[in-house]
């Protein structure tokens, strides 16, 4: 069965680095990818742009393609946006369809600090987005959980709804949302780092201007 992948983040703002890795993961997995902006991230400061503004930016960024799809469910939930809660919802909706939670290598290494992190393996596969040749340094508690789950072939994810790990080698784009916000605040225009459509409407990037 064709997998459904989930790529979360604050997207504050969404930039070409986000879109590039999500697109490549979609191709590698032959999966639709849900781009899921977080409401109140529990492990980092709250976003500068509001929920409606980040949704508007994503709607512009995702035009004219069908692989990457906006899913704004976490923005309607009160309290912190815990990934495990979202995956419980998606599993209930999707039945036995393979789900793949996409995480950057650093986020994956920090997984033991997440709420209900072991439960995630019962709810989804995990695709670790890494640079070509990158070696993962994992804490022992995560390594013990992860070692028997690794697979090399994306096709192995199609026969099970959850429980496997796969490393997805993607093109690293060294684009920083923090740096983009700094450039906009300084009155500069970070062309070629953001989707071009974000420059067509001055209101979209207004939250970052001083």
Tell me: pLDDT of 84 over 90: yes
Phi, psi dihedrals of residue 145, rounded to the nearest 5° = -75, -35
- What's the Rg (C-alpha) of the chain? 17
Q: Which domains does the chain have, with CATH numbers?
A: 4-174 (3.40.50.620)
From residue 177, give the alpha-carbon distance in Å to each of 15, 48, 131: 7, 11, 19
Higher pLDDT pick, 173 / 117: 117
pLDDT band at 137 (very low <50, low <70, confident <90, very high): confident
| pTM of the complete model | 0.96
Taking CA atoms, 12 is separated from 23, 48, 58, 186, in Å, by: 19, 7, 10, 17
- pLDDT above 70 covers what percent of the chain? 99
Long-range contacts of residues 113-122, Cβ cutoff 8 Å, at least 24 apart: 113/43, 114/43, 114/82, 114/83, 114/84, 115/42, 115/82, 115/83, 115/84, 116/82, 116/84, 117/84, 118/145, 119/84, 120/83, 120/84, 120/87, 121/145, 121/149, 121/162, 121/163, 122/162, 122/163
Q: Could you report the per-residue pLDDT of 156-191, keeping only the tens digit for each? A: 999 999 999 999 999 988 899 999 999 999 999 999
Q: What pLDDT, on the 0 to 100 scale, is given for residue 124?
A: 98
Question: What pLDDT score was predicted for residue 111?
Answer: 96
Of residues 67 and 41, which shows the higher confidence score?
67
């Amino acid at each position: 069965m064709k997998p459904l992948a989930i790529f979360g983040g604050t997207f504050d703002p969404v930039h070409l680095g986000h879109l590039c890795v999500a697109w490549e993961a979609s191709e590698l997995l032959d999966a639709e990818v849900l781009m899921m902006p977080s409401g109140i991230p529990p492990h980092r400061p709250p976003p500068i742009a509001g929920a409606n503004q980040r949704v508007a930016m994503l709607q512009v960024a995702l035009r004219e393609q069908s692989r990457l799809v906006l899913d704004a469910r976490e923005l309607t939930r009160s309290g912190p946006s815990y990934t495990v809660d979202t995956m419980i919802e998606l599993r209930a909706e999707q039945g036995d369809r393979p789900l793949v939670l996409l995480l950057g290598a650093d986020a994956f290494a920090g997984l033991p600090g997440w709420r209900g992190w072991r439960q995630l393996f019962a709810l989804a596969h995990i695709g670790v987005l890494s640079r070509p040749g990158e070696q993962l340094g994992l804490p022992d508690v995560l390594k013990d959980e992860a070692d028997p789950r690794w697979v090399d072939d994306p096709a192995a994810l199609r026969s099970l709804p959850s429980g496997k790990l796969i490393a997805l080698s993607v093109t690293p784009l060294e684009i920083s949302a923090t740096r983009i916000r700094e450039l906009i605040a300084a009155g500069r225009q970070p062309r070629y780092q953001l989707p071009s459509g974000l420059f067509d409407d001055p209101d979209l990037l207004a939250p970052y201007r001083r």
